[in-house]
């Protein structure tokens, strides 16, 4: 059954046609979006929205954890980082603390930006300098 919402169609198509690298980037961006919304909800004293967006950010980190290959040192260290971020997101939600969310947001931005750089380098290595991400 086709949806009537063009944005929903676009979003579904972009997810189903994305490469694994692009999906990871989408997960980082989604996590950042939900952290921002959770911080906004704390500022508005909206417990329901804070919890909902915090739980979404936690679910994204869990997805990153279960899809991670841990057969090397980088993967193992990244798993530890994700575990830390997940625990901090839980703490921020329980404690209603935007400063913890700021901390997690900073780490997720660094991970996302590093991931973008890796994707650019990979494309350059595969296709030469002329191709862009």
Tens of pLDDT, residues 85-117? 999 999 999 999 999 999 999 999 999 999 999
Average of pLDDT values for 3-21?
A: 70
Name the fold adopted by 19-127: 1.20.120
pTM, two decimals, is 0.84
Rounded average pLDDT over 6-19: 66
pLDDT of residue 6: 72
Q: Are 44 and 36 within 8 A, CB to CB? A: no
pLDDT reported for residue 56: 98
C-alpha distances in Å from residue 2, one per residue of 8, 12, 13, 109: 10, 11, 12, 35
């Amino acid at each position: 059954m086709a949806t009537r919402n063009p944005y929903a169609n676009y979003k579904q198509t972009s997810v189903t046609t994305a490469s694994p690298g692009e999906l990871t980037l989408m997960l980082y961006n989604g996590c950042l979006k939900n952290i921002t919304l959770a911080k906004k909800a704390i500022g508005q004293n909206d417990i329901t929205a804070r919890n909902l967006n915090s739980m979404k950010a936690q679910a994204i980190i869990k997805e990153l954890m279960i899809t991670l290959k841990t057969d090397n040192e980088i993967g193992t260290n990244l798993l530890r980082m994700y575990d830390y971020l997940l625990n901090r997101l839980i703490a921020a939600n329980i404690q209603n603390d935007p400063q913890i969310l700021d901390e997690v947001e900073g780490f997720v931005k660094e991970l996302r930006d590093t991931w973008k750089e890796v994707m650019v380098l990979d494309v350059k290595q595969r296709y030469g300098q002329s191709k862009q991400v």
